[in-house]
Structure 1
Amino acid sequence: MSAGSLPSGVVLLTDRLVASGPLDLVVARAVAGGVRWVVLREKDLPRVERVALAGDLRAILADVGGTLIVAGPDPLDGDAVHLPAAGPYPPPTHTLVGRSCHDCAELARLTTEHYATVSPVHPTRTKPGYGPPLGIAGLRDLIQASPVPVLALGGVETPDQVAACVRAGAAGVAVLGALMRADDPTGTAATLTRAFNEAVTPGPVPTRLSTATEEAR
C-alpha cells in the first residue's frame, strides 16, 4: 500500500457463505475486473484460518498493487483494519484504519481513523431489515458531516447506484452481494468500476455551435 493511499473506487467486502465459488477465486476474478481494495470479513473463522486466508488474498492483490483490509482490530499480520462502530476506542495504530458508521453521532466520534463506511444506503439482502436505508440524500448529508473520506455501503449493486453515490460525494463504494454472488465477478467488477470512473471523470460537455455555423448547416 502506497503512503497516503485511501480506499476508493469499488471496494469488495468478502462473505464466503454467499460467494458463487471458493472465496479466493471469487476475489481473484473481481480483482481481474478492476477491484484494488478488499475487506476480509469471515469473522467466524478461527484466527489461524483467517491468517492463512489473509495471506492468500494479499498475494492476489499484490500482483496489481492492491490492498487487503481486515475487518476487526486484529490486522492478521498486515497493517490495515476496518473497525465496527462499537469499538475499540481509541482506534489501534495501523497504517490504515477505517470505521463503520451509520449516523452523525458515530462520525463525530472519529479521531485518528483514515476513512469511514456509511450504511445502509439502500436495502440489502445481506442484512435484511437493517436500516432504515439512508437513500442518496441521507448519504450526502453524512458525507458532508464526516471528517474523513466516506465509502458508501449497503445495497449498491448497479452502475446507476454507483454513479449516484459518487455524485453524493463518496470516495468509493463498498460492495458485497453484487460481487460475491455474481456468476461473473470479473464482468460485474469491471462494469461497476467503469461506472465509478465515469462518474468521477465525466466526459466533456459538447460546446454549442455558433449561430453562424448553425445557420450555415
Structure 2
Amino acid sequence: MSAPRLLVVTDRTQARRPLPDVVAAAVAAGARAVWLRDRDLPGPERAALAADLRAVLDPVDGLLVWGGADGAPAGTAVHLSAADPFPAVRPPLVGRSCHSAAELARAAAEGCDWGTLSPFAPTASKPGYGPALGTAGLAALAPAAPPVLALGGVLPGDVAGCLSAGASGVAVMGPVMRDPAVVADYVAALARAQRV
C-alpha cells in the first residue's frame, strides 16, 4: 500500500463519542486509513485501543498507523513526529510530520512513504505552528518531498486546491473527531479532484 489519500488522525479529547465508535462511523463514511495519534496514553491502554481500531479497519482492508515507533505492534505502519528518530527496524510504511523544507528533505532522505505538511490553515488543534501554508506554501514545498498529505485546518472545500498544489492527499483530525460523517465529503472531494 502506498501513502493514503485520506488519513484520519485521532484525538480522543475532541471526539464526541468513544474513539472506536468515532472511527467506526468514519470507516462507514469511507475512511480507510487511521493514524492513532493519542501518544499520551499508557502503553497497555494504547495497545488495547489499537486492537479496537484494527477490528474496525481490518474488515475493509483499512490501514492502522501507529503514532511514533515506540510500542508499535510488529508489522504496523508508523507516523513519526518531526523529532522522532527513524526506527532501527523499518516498519512496512513510515510517515513523518513536517513543517518546513528541511523536515521534508529529511523525510525524503529517510525514504518515508509520506510526510504530513502542516499547518495548511490556522487550526485550534495545533496553535503555535505557523504561519499557515495555504496552497502557495504547499506548491512551494510539496514537489521536493515524499508524497505529501496536507494537514491542519483542511476542510472538504480545500481538497481540490491541496491536490492542485501538489499534495497527494489530506490528513484530517478535528472535523472528523467532531462529526465522522464528514468523511464522506472528503472522499467525494478527493474523487472529484481525481477526475479533473
1:43: which partner in 2?
39
Contact 1:154 1:175 in 2 (8 A): yes
Residue 200 (1) aligns with residue 194 (2) = yes
CA distance in 2, matches of 1:201, 1:92: 38
Q: Does 1:71 align with 2:33?
A: no
- The whole-number CA distance in structure 1 between the counterparts of 2:31 and 2:3 is 11
Stretches of structure 1 lacking an aligned partner (at least 5 in a row) = 203-217
Secondary structure, counterpart of 2:96 in structure 1: strand
Equivalent residue, structure 1, for 2:16: 20
**In the alignment, which of 84, 88, 91 is matched to residue 85 of structure 2?**
88
Q: Point out 4+ residue stretches in structure 1 off by more than 4 angstroms.
A: none
Q: Partner of 1:152: helix, strand, or coil?
A: strand
Q: TM-score, normalised by structure 1?
A: 0.85
Aligned equivalents of 1:141, 1:82: Cα separation in 2:
23
Identity across the alignment (%): 52
Q: Structure 2 residue aligned with 1:189, among 177, 183, 186?
A: 183
1:144 maps to: 143
Amino acid at match of 2:34: V
How big is the shift at 1:78? 4.2
TM-score (structure 2 length as normaliser): 0.93
Among candidates 152, 155, 158, match of residue 153 of structure 2: 155
Structure 1: distance between partners of 2:132 and 2:27: 28
Aligned residue number for residue 211 of structure 1: none
Who wins on radius of gyration, i.e. which is larger?
A: 1
Aligned residues: 193
How large is the Cα RMSD of the aligned pairs?
1.4
Deviation at 1:8, TM superposition (A): 2.5
Name the counterpart of 2:167: 170
Structure 2 residue 124 is the aligned partner of structure 1 residue 128: no
Structure 1 position 52 matched with structure 2 position 48: yes
Shift of 1:77: 4.2
SS at 2:60's partner residue? coil
CA distance in 1, matches of 2:66, 2:132: 25
1:9 Cα deviation after fit:
2.5
Q: Distance in 2 between matches of 1:169 and 1:86?
A: 24
Structure 1 residue aligned with 2:94, among 91, 97, 113?
97
Q: Which moved more, 1:87-96 or 1:28-37?
A: 87-96
Aligned equivalents of 2:111, 2:117: Cα separation in 1: 17
Higher helix share: 2
Residues in 2 aligned to 1:39 and 1:15: alpha-carbon distance in whole angstroms? 10
Deviations 1:57-98 (A, max 9, x none): 011011111000011113234421000111204664110011
Amino acid at match of 1:34: G
* Secondary structure, counterpart of 2:129 in structure 1: coil
Q: Cα distance, 1:191 vs. partner?
A: 1.0
Deviations 1:18-41 (A, max 9, x none): 101110000100011111000001
Q: What is the identity, as a one-letter code, of the residue corresponding to 1:29?
A: A
